[in-house]
Amino acid sequence: MKREQIIILVQGVIIFAALAFAVGVTRAPRHSETFTLDHLHNTSEMIHLLNLDPPQAQQLEVLNAKLRRTLQETCHRNCTARQQIVRTDETDAETKEKMLNKMCEAYEDGERATLQHIQAVRAILDRQQRNTFDKLLSRCLCGGCEKGCD
């Protein structure tokens, strides 16, 4: 073989390897990436990850829309109360405590809504889908903790 033919062959192999790598990376399962709450709220991604049938997918869309509305409302309440606490010149401990309670109540309402949502989603899943969902939840909810979950 001539030197030029060898160079062209090597270039072809390098291009083929790069393309194969690119296709492999873009088509790799998403289970290997960090799983966050954003993934849980992404209806189309959850439909794919849990292999939902059309009726389940429709139910999930309704549940996710309801949760989004609730979390927007509780987030607004929480942030409003937090701003009031920070901006107030009140030195009255009782007044600040009431503001803090309003902030914590809004946060608690959001947590309760999230837990109710998780239970509602689990209720529409079959056993295999629930197992997958629970594993994804564990990665999501416990991933930020230094020690993880038990």
Digit-coded pLDDT (tens) for 46-93: 999 999 999 999 999 999 999 999 989 999 999 998 888 888 776 677
> What integer pLDDT is reported at residue 76 of this predicted model?
92
| Architecture of the domain whose range is 34-142 | Up-down Bundle (1.20)
Taking residues 23-29, report their average pLDDT: 48
Tell me the pLDDT band of 31, cut-offs 50, 70 and 90.
very low
Rounded to two decimals, the pTM is: 0.69
* pLDDT beyond 50 at 32: no
Coil, strand or helix at 1: coil
Cα separations in angstroms, 137 against 91, 115, 119, 128: 42, 11, 12, 14
Q: What is the spatial distance between Cα 70 and Cα 129, in angstroms, rounded to a whole number?
A: 25
pLDDT computed for residue 87 by the predictor: 81
Distance CA 85, CA 93 (A): 11
Asked whether the predicted pLDDT for residue 120 surpasses 50, the reply is yes
User: 37: Cβ–Cβ under 8 A, 6 or more apart, which residues?
Assistant: 140
Predicted confidence at residue 97, as pLDDT, reads: 85
131 falls in which pLDDT band (50, 70, 90)? very high
Percent of the chain with pLDDT over 90: 33
Distance of alpha carbon 38 from alpha carbon 53, whole angstroms: 22
Q: Beta-carbon neighbour count of residue 67 at 10 Å?
A: 20
SS3 content of the chain, % helix, strand, coil (to 5): 80, 0, 20
- Given a contact cutoff of 8 angstroms between Cβ atoms, the answer to whether 81 and 99 are in contact is yes
Q: Percentage of residues in the chain with pLDDT exceeding 70?
A: 67
pLDDT at 34: 62
